[in-house]
Amino acid sequence: MFPSLPPITRWLIIANVSVFLLEFVIGERLIALFALWPIGPLFHPWQLVTYAFLHEPNNLMHIVFNMFALYMFGGAMEMYWRQRGAPSFYVLYYFVSVLAAAGTEILVLTQTQTPEPVIGASGGVFGMLLAYGWFFPRDRVLVLPIPIPIPAWLLVTIYGGIELWLGVTGRQDSVAHFAHLGGMLGGAVMILWWRSMHRERTHFDG
């Protein structure tokens, strides 16, 4: 499977899996230093990025789901931007989504005064999900528990609506739903910027 992946996505998955295995050796220390903590004595600036390479070691499905989604949607988007001569934009897009997710979640943690760390690649993954639905809206995707393939745009809409509802109602309070939404928001800003730059280049070339 991995040899068929474009290189950046492959290395992102390898990095996440490697850190996940390392957590079994020095898990608590990694969480303390590199998870995303609310603004305070445990917060450090590098956590705005490093949290996205950590996953819950006692929940295998956490990393399995994120890496499978990164494989599906991230791989497709890397190939899309690579074919357009912009592989570096893929890297920028992913980490802007990660940063936007972190910023959104910090605001929520500060408002709710929740002293819990945030970990997981979901912010970047949700950014990739948004991009896939944006650029390939009619592609049909089969994602459990939905039993039939649905258009990518509908999948993005459903996931976004669920995350907003869960975040506002406080259900599944152990999941950073607003970080997921923040990742999608960061992705949307990047896509609008990409389209604006592409239009300007096309106009100039014409």
Stretch (H or E) spanning 151: strand 150-151
For position 27, what pLDDT does the model report?
73
Rounded to whole angstroms, the Cα distance separating 44 from 34 reads 8
**pLDDT exceeds 50 at position 204:** no
* Cα four-point dihedral sign 181, 84, 9, 15: negative
| Section 162-184 average pLDDT | 85
**pLDDT exceeds 80 at position 114:** no
For position 145, what pLDDT does the model report?
67
Domain boundaries, the chain: 2-205
Rounded to whole angstroms, the Cα distance separating 63 from 15 reads 12
Pull the structure tokens for residue 17: 């899996």
For position 88, what pLDDT does the model report?
92
**pLDDT exceeds 50 at position 2:** no
Which residues are CB-neighbours of 159 under 8 A, at least 6 positions away?
Answer: 126, 129, 180
**pLDDT exceeds 80 at position 96:** yes
| Section 159-183 average pLDDT | 85
| Section 18-31 average pLDDT | 89
**pLDDT exceeds 90 at position 92:** yes
Top pLDDT among 106 and 113 is at 106
Chain-centroid distance of CA 87 in Å reads 17
pLDDT in tens, 33-90: 999 998 888 899 999 999 999 999 888 999 999 999 999 999 999 999 999 888 899 9
| Section 151-167 average pLDDT | 91
Pull the structure tokens for residue 58: 């006692």
pLDDT-based confidence at residue 3 (cuts at 50, 70, 90): very low
Mean pLDDT, rounded, of the chain: 88
For position 98, what pLDDT does the model report?
97
pLDDT-based confidence at residue 175 (cuts at 50, 70, 90): confident
**What's the topology of domain 2-205?**
Rhomboid-like fold (1.20.1540)
